[in-house]
A = this chain, B = another copy of it.
Amino acid sequence: MFHNFLPKEYSFFDLFDKQAACAVEAAAYFKDLVQRANIDEAAYEKMHDIEHKGDDVAHDIIDKLDKSFITPFDREDIHALVKELDDVTDMINTIVSRMKVYKIKGVDKNLVKFADVIEESVRSVSIVVKGMRNKKNAKVVFDSCIEINRLENVGDSLRDDVLAELFENEKDPITVIKLKEIYQDAETVLDICEDLAHVVKSVLLKQA
């Protein structure tokens, strides 16, 4: 059951939403960043702040969990959900950090494509997380999970295509090293969203 009658537990869901909102903010800002020609120190700091805010919410949830007797669903599933949400924001932050360290200049059209798919997927993640509060949202949640899976497949194909293109056309090995890592990390964000969708589906099925 979702213990709809236990208002105290609603705060867990509020915290999940807050953590998901950080992931959405990170994805939206990432999309914004890759459309610019350059990542400066201020842009990097802003992304880092978003990641830090997400981290704080994750710690709040785990502290709350360790002190709570009653939880809206299994502890291990809450741990898994918090970890996946944290990993989404972390991985986006890692990509931006690498772009800065590797001094990636100019707009990379492939990274723009990845940023679009990532933003779509993370927005579906936030719908899924918000929907968990109440069984009546089951259809919306399952549909969004299907969408997250679809976007992971889109990301897989995109990564294969851009890597093939990179190894075909780029003659500078140092550039290959840099972009290969960034493209693979970008696809990993979509893998994490898919793992999160599995966690949520499993929670819903147990309570069905």
Q: Min CB distance, A64 to chain B, in Å?
A: 10
A167-B178, A173-B173, A180-B177 are known contacts. Are A160 and B66 too (CB-CB below 8 A)? no
| Complex contact A205–B67 (CB within 8 A) | yes
A101 located at the interface, meaning its Cβ lies under 8 Å from any Cβ of chain B in the complex? yes
A102-B167, A167-B103 are known contacts. Are A160 and B206 too (CB-CB below 8 A)? no
Q: Min CB distance, A166 to chain B, in Å?
A: 9
Chain B residues within 8 Å of A178, by CB: 167
A71 located at the interface, meaning its Cβ lies under 8 Å from any Cβ of chain B in the complex? no
State the number of copies, please: 3
Q: Min CB distance, A32 to chain B, in Å?
A: 22
Chain B residues within 8 Å of A62, by CB: 198, 202
A38 located at the interface, meaning its Cβ lies under 8 Å from any Cβ of chain B in the complex? no
Considering the chains assembled together, what is the distance between the CA atoms of A164 and B163 in angstroms? 23
Binary interface encoding of chain A residues 159-171 relative to chain B, with 1 for a CB under 8 A from any of its CBs, else 0: 0100110011000
Instruction: Give the interface of A toward B (CB within 8 A).
Output: 62-63, 66-67, 76, 97, 100-103, 160, 163-164, 167-168, 173-174, 176-178, 180, 198, 202, 205-206, 208
